[in-house]
Structure 1
């Protein structure tokens, strides 16, 4: 068993001996695919190389629809907490784009949107990295 923060803890094995359990190593991911069928959601995580557009998928997680909805809520809450504590995160969708087809974009389009979002952040001094965020909501 591992704590919610990922700290290792000691547990007893079948013979009553203490065993130290460590959390898995983290892998960086900057590319995601999400699919679903009637029974599960499939979340693929990987890395994209912007220069070549090469994608290397590293992990697939399958979750039930109920757990997918819980994960979506948890992630949304975590993003809100991050933005409240640090700064707004740039939005990769185009102006006036609701993002409905965002998952269908090519790797090149994904990278172009990421670059554009970074440029918008830099161009808007109120959203520049490191600038304190107002607690007003």
Structure 2
């Protein structure tokens, strides 16, 4: 009986998530800036391209502190799973160089 009740509760808690074709394509970002107040976290996802003096915010996500902490824990868990499957990620401790160098030579027009 308790198993049926637990199963029913889990079914009631499921969320149907819709993903449009446009959103499914994703947005590339190679830089994020984070700010916060006492009631929210603001994460700006930015695309910084070599040789372009201006970086553009491609997406801004605003969330509560509780959700920001959940995101932090989910990212930590996923990075650990990734490294277990594919090996250690060898970066992240040094701030990026500006302008960012993507390797190769700089193009000229």
Query: TM-score band (shorter)?
Result: 0.5 to 0.7
CA drift of 1:92 comes to 3.2
Residue matched to 2:77: 77
Q: Distance in 1 between matches of 2:61 and 2:92?
A: 24
Normalization by structure 2: what TM-score? Answer: 0.66
Higher normalized strand content (fraction of residues)? 1
The match for 2:66 is: 66
- RMSD between aligned residues: 2.4
CA contact (8 A) 1:40 1:63 kept: yes
Deviation at 1:87, TM superposition (A): 1.8
Q: List 4+ stretches of structure 1 deviating above 6 A.
A: none
Matching residue of 1:34: 34
**Counterpart contact for 1:53–1:108, Cα < 8 Å:** no
Q: Which residue of 1 aligns with 2:11?
A: none
Counterpart-to-counterpart distance in 2, 1:38 and 1:77: 26
Question: Aligned pairs, how many?
Answer: 86
Aligned to 2:8: none
Taking structure 1 as the reference length, the TM-score comes to 0.54
Deviation at 1:47, TM superposition (A): 0.4
**Structure 1: gaps spanning 5 or more residues:** 3-7, 9-20, 95-101, 116-137
C-alpha separation in 2, matches of 1:50 and 1:87: 28
SS at match of 1:80: helix
